[in-house]
Amino acid sequence: MMQLSNDTQCNKHSLLNVMNRFIAAANNMDETIMVPSLLRDVPLEDQDSQASVSHNNNEPSFPSKQRDMYEHYLLLKSIKNDMEWGLLKREMGGSFLEMAVKHEELQVNGGAAEEGADLECQFHYHLHGLFAVLSKLTVQADDLTNRYKREIGGGSLLR
């Protein structure tokens, strides 16, 4: 059993590896950015280049809801905390997992879900999505960290 665990951790395509890379990038971002408030009102740049990257992967591009680098920093930090500590209670009441279970029960009781649903297919679909999202978040955390280093090194964020 120990051999299986080591193989999984060493496989660069494993879910654990992708999660660890994102958490490491977010930790690096958090350690590098000593004064997050300096990111306020600094526009997100390179959005056009990020959009072209997502189009090259045949994946849809979603506009960013963050207005500046500070909000983007907070988003990445929040996602990392959710991954490390679990999902906290949501405003709608209950955890995200509880809401998902309730939604599933409504579908089953309403006849919307088919009895012979292909769970393996659903699992692979969501796993693929998780890999894609975590990979993009890792790149964004690295980009934000590098931009902070570049901008602070040049002093252009200091007012």
- Residues found in the chain: 159
Which position has the higher pLDDT, 18 or 119? 18
Domain total of the chain: 2
Three-class SS of 81-130: HHHHHCCCCCCCCCCHHHHHHHHHHHHHHHCCCCCCCCHHHHHHHHHHHH
Round to whole Å and give the CA distance between 80 and 86.
10
Residue 25 counted as domain residue: yes
Instruction: Tell me which of 54 and 147 has the higher pLDDT.
Output: 147
Q: Considering the domain boundaries, does residue 74 fall inside one?
A: yes
Q: What pLDDT shows up at residue 144?
A: 94
- Which residue has 């679990």 as its token pair? 86
Task: Give 152's pLDDT tier (boundaries 50, 70, 90).
Answer: confident
Domain identity same for 76 and 18: yes
Q: What is the pLDDT of residues 3-59, one digit of tens each?
A: 445 554 558 789 999 999 999 999 999 999 999 999 998 888 755 444 444 444 555
How many CB atoms are closer than 10 A to CB 72? Answer: 20
For residue 145, which of 32, 24, 34 has the smallest C-alpha distance?
A: 32
Assess if residue 81 is contained within a domain: yes
Q: Which conformational region is residue 158 in: left (phi greater than 0), alpha (psi within -120 to 50 degrees), or beta?
A: beta
Residue 51 lies in a domain: no
Note whether residue 144 is domain-resident. Answer: yes
Domain for residue 98, yes or no? no
Position 33 scores a pLDDT of 94
SS3 64: coil
| Domain assignment of residue 32, yes or no | yes
Residue span of the structural domain in which 140 resides: 125-151
Do 71 and 135 lie in one domain? The reply is no
Domain membership of residue 133 (yes or no) is yes
**pLDDT tens, residue by residue, 69-110:** 999 999 999 899 888 887 654 444 555 555 555 555 555 555
Residue of higher predicted confidence among 24 and 116: 24
Range picked from 31-35, 58-62, 112-116 for highest mean pLDDT: 31-35
